[in-house]
Structure 1
């Protein structure tokens, strides 16, 4: 039995990432199962630290991206929007530039007003690189997730900025 509130394709999800940090970092959703979401990110000049290995912040960005997509898929998007509330990460091992990291997000708890998602990031050999837990708040309002060409100004942002 699926945990998702509606059906979406990987292509639809990845298309919505255009024009965002997700696309800038090269993060892609690769698989959607009944109980998890999987993705990957390149370890390259966009995601490494000056020492030439995966930046911990890039791992956190990958983790929060997948957790947020999972939250989006798990609620009625016509009534609810999810936002990151808290995230933690334990960095286990480095990954050198030129490789890929892979992530899988699974639910720890899916409630009416908050979700907790666990994200495991591994290297190409399947060894654990980072483990993260992300808490999402579920807000009663239509989801703001949209493709780049249908996005408006950020909610609460001044129209005079930027």
Structure 2
């Protein structure tokens, strides 16, 4: 998706319905904001028992899925999707705080946005704005 000449609302509607039935939809990830000037993307995900690990807290894999969804979406929003697409090539997540229920909010931003590689940072926070996890992700931008 290329954001030039698209409104914030058009972009959010597109990415919230991107690809039909996806892992993001299974986890109820909802994109809530995009800042086109600062190139950031925000989404929420409910913390429900189905994404818990056996100890009753959010599975680290769920945090990674949210983070990768954010990093990949951020890259693909800010490139010409008719010519290129961004694919994840590395992800590193530090789980900093456990979460049993409620809602987490993820914000993705670029650390580096080059022609052939994007590196993004994704912070996942709870309702008290406490950092739950921190991720860095690399996407390679390849020709279609």
Structure 1 residue aligned with 2:24: 22
Structure 1's consecutive aligned runs of 4 or more residues displaced over 2 angstroms after TM superposition are 4-9
Distance 1:81 1:106, change over 3 A: same
Q: Could you say which structure has the higher strand fraction?
A: 2
Distance 1:89 1:62 in 2: 11
**Could you tell me how far 1:50 is from its partner in structure 2?**
1.4
For residues 5 and 69 of structure 1, the distance between their equivalents in structure 2, rounded to whole angstroms, comes to 12
Describe the superposition over 1:113-137 as per-residue Cα deviations: whole angstroms up to 9, x where unpaired: 1100000000010000000000001
Q: What is the TM-score with the length of structure 2 in the denominator?
A: 0.90
Alignment map for 1:36-47 (pairs within 5 Å): 36-47=40-51
Structure 1 residue 5 displacement after superposition: 4.3
Alignment partners' CA distance in 1, 2:15 and 2:54: 31
Match of 1:74 among 46, 61, 78: 78
The answer to whether the Cα contact below 8 Å between 1:17 and 1:23 also exists between their aligned partners in 2 is no
What is the distance in 1 between the residues matched to 2:121 and 2:103?
A: 20
Contact map agreement 1:110 1:116 (CA 8 A) in 2: yes
* Structure 2: 5+ residue stretches without partners: none
- 1:119 and 2:122 matched: yes
Count of residues paired in the alignment = 137
- Separation of aligned partners in 2, 1:27 and 1:55: 15
Equivalent-residue separation in structure 2 for 1:113 and 1:33 (angstroms): 22
Once superposed, what is the RMSD of the aligned Cα atoms?
A: 1.2
Give the gaps of 5 or more residues in structure 1.
142-162
